[in-house]
């Protein structure tokens, strides 16, 4: 099990279960370690996370809630446009991203900010998926492989952020870059097709264009990236940080 | 004993003329598959046999490995094979008589690709980009490896 974690690129510091001396040994041995179990059967362990202790790329978001305003809906609107989601308010329309307003009843302190899939390092949706459809890419983006999804809805139940939803009706006029259909779970994809082409997700682009420039997208593991610099400079948090899921979406000002 | 011979004779006649009658009704006509513009990633004969293997492979590469820059992905197949109406509108690829449907109706193989996937190509992405990039595209920019498995298939006598 621990080897599997290493293979998947557990992106931060070594897991508690590992013996540090063993890790050093692996690191010394270089990029890949092989152990012969019996003739013809060899166990390979990639040592991706050893060295810097991080994967080279982990995509993430920073939402500056001090800039986000309650009336602005640009990110939600852009998500719907780009991914072909229905704009009609209805009980079964998908919300890959939604605006949430929080108020402290004692002080009256109010903040409005978008909440979407938090792309957790320890994603509960990935843990509970019985078919491997819910998975985390090596670059930190958590996705549903709809070819494998059987529509059991476990991930929807497991997600503490209510980021996943179920498609219950036949869908038509999908976007070629955002396939979605009846009988599968879905959620924010961090606009993988845009990210693959070097662009930022639709919500971030719209926020910077029409909104309040409150959202930053980038590689959390690159110290030179704008997002990593902001995270190092400002006090930020993640939603329900107490759950220890290590989300990739960070918030400032809440 | 006499009855049994009669029954066998009767059945034989029934089967014989039934077969002639069924044959006389004709066979299902071979579909007229609309031709595409441009060149396919593989020879036609190979595509007819192996396209599902190609698509299965490429979908794993894109969805799970994040290697989006693939020439033989479903969207490029559709973009090349889609037919347009007189007014220039794209006809859904899974519509009756269109590229996917023509063959799949003929062979009676149900596909559910288009429960999720778009049936017409679309280019416009209605989001302002303002030249914003995240500078990390290099991680998932890979050279196009289209025919890496083709020589093996041809060597196996598939062409």
> Is B133–A180 a contact, with Cβ atoms under 8 angstroms apart?
no
Residue A139 with chain B: CB contacts under 8 Å:
66, 136, 139-140
Q: What is the mean pLDDT of chain B?
A: 79
Q: Tell me, yes or no, whether B154 lies in a domain.
A: yes
Q: Could you give the CA distance from residue B126 to residue A78 in angstroms, rounded to a whole number?
A: 8
pLDDT at B40: 87
- End-to-end alpha-carbon separation of chain A, Å? 36
* Spatial separation of the C-alpha atoms in residues B20 and B15, rounded to whole Å: 9
pLDDT of res. B56:
94
Distance from CA of B108 to the nearest CA of A (A): 21
Contact A82 B139 (CB under 8 A): no
Triad A209, A79, A220: Cα angle to 5°: 75
**Would you state the pLDDT for residue B149?**
42
Percent pLDDT > 70 in chain B is 75
Chain B neighbours among A 181-200 (CB < 8 Å)?
181-184, 192-200
What is the percent of chain B with per-residue pLDDT over 90, rounded to a whole number? 40
Classify residue B52: in a domain, yes or no.
Answer: yes
Query: A74 to chain B: which residues are within 8 Å by CB?
Result: none
Would you call B139 an interface residue with chain A, using a CB distance cutoff of 8 Å? yes
Residue B148 Cα to chain centre, angstroms: 20
Kind and range of the H or E element at B46?
A: helix B44-59
Residue A63 pLDDT: 97
- The pLDDT of residue B93: 93
Q: Is residue B107 part of a domain?
A: yes
For residue B117, the chain A residue with the least C-alpha distance is A179
Candidates B68, B78, B130; nearest CB to A193: B68
A13 close contact with B: CB closer than 8 A? no
Write out the residue range of the structural domain in which residue B147 sits: 31-122+140-159
Q: What is the pLDDT of residue A72?
A: 93
Tens of pLDDT, residues B100-144:
999 999 999 999 999 999 999 987 565 666 556 665 543 333 333
Q: Is residue B128 assigned to a domain? A: no
Q: What is the model's pLDDT at position B57? A: 93
How large is the angle between the packed helices B44-59 and B74-81, nearest 10 degrees?
A: 140
pLDDT of residue B138: 38
Q: What is the pLDDT of residue B35?
A: 82
Which residue segments constitute the domains of chain A, with CATH numbers given? 2-46 (no CATH), 59-252 (3.30.70.20)
pLDDT of A222: 92
Task: Return the pLDDT at A29.
Answer: 45
CA distance A183 to chain B (A): 9
| B110 inside domain | yes
Using pLDDT thresholds of 50, 70 and 90, give the confidence band for residue B150. Answer: very low
Question: Under an 8 A CB cutoff, do A198 and B121 touch?
Answer: no
C-beta atoms of B68 and A196 within 8 A: yes
CA-nearest residue of chain B to A186? B116
Asked if A169 has any chain B CB less than 8 Å from its own CB, the reply is no
Q: Quick one: how far is CA B50 from the chain centroid?
A: 10
What pLDDT sits at residue B143? 35
What is each CA distance from A70 to A67, A88, A140, in whole angstroms? 10, 20, 29
List the pLDDT tens digit at each of the 254 positions of chain A: 344 444 444 455 444 445 555 555 444 444 555 666 666 676 665 554 444 568 889 999 999 999 999 999 999 999 999 999 998 888 888 999 999 999 999 999 999 999 999 999 999 999 999 999 999 999 999 999 999 999 999 999 999 999 999 999 999 999 999 999 999 999 999 999 999 888 999 999 999 998 899 999 999 999 999 999 999 999 999 999 999 999 999 999 98
pLDDT at residue B72 in the model: 86
Query: Predicted confidence band at B3 (pLDDT cuts at 50, 70, 90)?
Result: confident
- When divided into structural domains, chain B yields a total of 1
Q: What is the pLDDT of residue A26?
A: 47
Distance in angstroms (rounded) separating the CA atoms of residues A158 and A124? 6
Rounded mean pLDDT of B4-15? 90
């Amino acid at each position: 099990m621990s080897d599997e974690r290493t293979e998947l690129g557990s992106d931060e510091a070594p897991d508690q279960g590992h013996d540090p001396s063993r890790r050093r040994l692996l690191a010394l041995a270089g990029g890949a370690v092989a152990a012969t179990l019996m003739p013809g059967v060899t166990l390979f362990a990639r040592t991706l996370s050893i060295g810097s202790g991080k994967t080279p790329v982990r995509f993430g978001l920073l939402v500056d809630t001090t800039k986000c305003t309650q009336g602005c809906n640009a990110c939600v609107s852009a998500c719907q446009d780009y991914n072909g989601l229905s704009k009609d308010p209805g009980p079964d329309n998908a919300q890959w991203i939604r605006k949430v307003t929080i108020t402290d009843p004692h002080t009256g302190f109010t903040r409005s900010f978008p909440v979407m899939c938090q792309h957790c390092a320890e994603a509960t949706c990935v843990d509970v998926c019985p078919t491997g459809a819910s998975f985390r890419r090596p670059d930190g983006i958590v996705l549903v492989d709809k070819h494998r999804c059987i529509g059991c809805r476990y991930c929807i139940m497991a997600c503490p952020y209510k980021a996943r939803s179920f498609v219950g009706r036949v869908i038509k006029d999908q976007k070629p870059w955002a396939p979605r259909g009846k009988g599968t779970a879905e959620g924010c994809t961090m606009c993988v097709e845009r990210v693959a082409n070097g662009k930022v997700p639709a919500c971030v682009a719209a926020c910077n264009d029409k909104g309040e420039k409150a959202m930053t997208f980038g590689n959390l593991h690159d110290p030179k990236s704008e997002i990593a610099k902001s995270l190092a400079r400002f006090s930020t948090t993640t939603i329900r940080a107490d759950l220890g899921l290590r989300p990739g979406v960070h918030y400032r000002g809440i | 004993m006499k009855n049994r011979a009669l029954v066998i004779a009767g059945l034989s006649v029934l089967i014989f003329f039934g077969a002639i009658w069924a044959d006389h009704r004709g066979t299902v006509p071979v579909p007229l598959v609309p031709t595409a513009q441009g060149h396919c990633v593989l020879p036609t004969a190979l595509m007819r046999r192996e396209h599902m293997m190609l698509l299965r492979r490429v979908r794993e590469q894109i969805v799970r490995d994040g290697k989006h820059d693939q020439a033989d992905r479903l969207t490029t197949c559709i973009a090349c094979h889609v037919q347009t109406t007189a007014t220039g509108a794209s006809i859904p690829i899974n519509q009756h008589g269109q590229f996917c449907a023509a063959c799949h109706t003929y062979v009676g193989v149900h596909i559910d690709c288009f429960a999720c996937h778009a049936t017409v190509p679309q280019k416009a992405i209605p989001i302002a980009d303002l030249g914003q990039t995240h500078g990390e595209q290099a991680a998932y920019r890979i050279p196009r490896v289209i025919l890496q498995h083709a020589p093996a298939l041809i060597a196996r006598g598939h062409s």
